[in-house]
Structure 1
């Protein structure tokens, strides 16, 4: 009886281990190629003044593919997004424009929330819409470091 119970326990542990494992695959957006980003943004500069207030946003043109959108979420937390529409291939109209708390695509007028990166007005043709591409942010004093 003792031998049988040890085999049963081993079998159940093995079965539990096999069924609890899952593959965590991350689907990379096929429309946005990887572009290295490593940028410092000084909040004391007058050109970056919009980021000193909650809800303020700024488009930085000289990094990423079409620039990076930086958003002050609540006065202390910042978010950075690639300024390229993630729901179609790269075109001349795929650069996003900053409109208040939204990023807007010139091609299809897609609107994205700068607070969440989510597409707010998906089209019926787009069955699997992509959200904005997120960049990491670290704030040290009055300097924001943006990277991927």
Structure 2
């Protein structure tokens, strides 16, 4: 009987079991990702915003916001609100997070807040937090990634 054969065979089985367990743990059944909000499905996109263009140059001033609509190009579900915090940039899904997207769910910006056109829920663009009070639990805005590359902002998810 060759003992070294059993050691190698046992090691191969152990590695196979560990790999299989890791594979099943890392698989997701959430159907496209989980942003923690059942009303807003996860979308994958990348959008470059050239801040040298007049339409977007106002975002270079701290406290200013811009809205990028989803014109069938996949930028969010209903578009994206971007704010210059003074320390960087934040981007948020424009669809109200407290119901499924519909004809009135695109939030409208006013200063540093956005408001849902359906229920008038108000959100802070610096934090994404809901400002409105309710007897039921409410969701905050869904965040997107922002990366500054020269004069461009790359908004992504």
Per the normalisation by structure 1, the TM-score is 0.77
- 8 Å contact kept, 2:35–2:142: no
Match of residue 79 from structure 2? 67
**Counterpart among 120, 123, 129 of residue 109 in structure 1:** 120
Does the Cα contact within 8 Å between 2:113 and 2:124 map onto a contact in 1?
yes
Between the aligned partners of 1:29 and 1:49, the Cα distance in structure 2 is 32
- In the TM superposition, 1:16-27 aligns within 5 A as none
Q: Does 1:144 align with 2:156?
A: no
**Which string of whole-angstrom CA distances, capped at 9 and with x for unpartnered residues, describes residues 95-141 of structure 1?**
010111001101111110000000001322x2x21110100111121
**What is the aligned residue count?**
120
Structure 2, unpaired ranges of 5+: 1-33
The partner residue of 1:31 within 31, 35, 39 is 39
Report the Cα offset of residue 54 of structure 1.
0.6
Normalising by structure 2, we get a TM-score of: 0.73
Shift of 1:27: 6.4
- Provide the aligned C-alpha RMSD in A: 1.3
Structure 1 residue runs without a partner (length 5+): 1-25
The match for 2:144 is 135
Name the residue aligned to 2:56: 48
- The 3-state SS of whatever aligns with 2:55 is helix
> Does the CA-based 8 Å contact 2:35-2:42 persist in structure 1?
no
Show structure 1 runs of 4+ deviating over 3 A. Answer: none
Q: Secondary structure at the match of 1:46?
A: coil
